[in-house]
Amino acid sequence: MNRKVRILRPVNRLAELVARPGGLLRPMAIARAQARLEAQRGPAMRAIGIIIATLEDMLSAPLAAGNLRDICRVADRLISLAGLYGMPGLAEGGKRLCDLAAAFIASGDIHAGSLRVHVRALRLLAMDAPAQGVLAELDKVLAHFGARPADQ
């Protein structure tokens, strides 16, 4: 019994597209992507303002551990937008807010005033305040509560 085996390979559309001549050179594709991203800067800056206002509203009500998780979710959107649009100070401030909220969740002790300070600092960072000084002060608040940045 000597039967031939036939192997069928599915058509790989991506491989076919890559093999075709033409397309864009890498620098040109990057320049186009950056131009499209820059065209969305205005709406992104408005979204950042809305996110910070949302955080401020969240902190105006009594807080519980569940609220802290929600604050981290909202801050994560801020971190993403700030990173995408070249605002590393604002992104770092958002990370520090999440670090502080995580420390409060772990300890079960919530200090809303410290969270409000962080959110006010985010507003300053969004307005191009000197990031190094603002972040250094936020680090002092983190240290006071024994919170460690997640990336350290």
Residue pLDDT, tens place only, 10-33: 888 888 888 888 878 889 999 999
Average pLDDT over residues 82-104: 95
The answer to whether residue 150 sits within a structural domain is no
Taking a C-beta distance cutoff of 8 angstroms, is the pair 112, 63 a contact?
yes
> What pLDDT sits at residue 152?
55
User: Mean pLDDT across the chain, nearest whole number?
Assistant: 91
- Asked if residue 151 is part of any domain, the answer here is no
Classify residue 7: in a domain, yes or no: no
- Within 10 angstroms of residue 103's Cβ, the number of other Cβ atoms is 19
Q: Is residue 126 part of a domain?
A: yes
- Establish if 29 belongs to a structural domain: no
Domain assignment present for residue 85? The answer is yes
In a domain, 103, yes or no: yes
- Pair 143, 101: CB distance under 8 Å: no
Give the separation between CA 141 and CA 152, rounded to whole angstroms.
16
User: Residue 125: inside a domain, yes or no?
Assistant: yes
What confidence score (pLDDT) does residue 52 get? Answer: 98
Mean pLDDT throughout 117-131?
A: 94
Query: How many domains does the chain contain in total?
Result: 1
- What one-character DSSP code corresponds to residue 4? P
Tokens at residue 142, please?
């983190």
How far apart (Å, rounded) are the C-alpha atoms in residues 45 and 90? 12
pLDDT greater than 80 at residue 65: no
Q: Give pairs for 74-79: CB < 8 Å, separation 24+.
A: 75/51, 75/101, 77/51, 78/48, 78/51, 78/52, 78/122
- Residue 146's pLDDT is 86
Q: Which domain holds residue 111?
A: 41-144
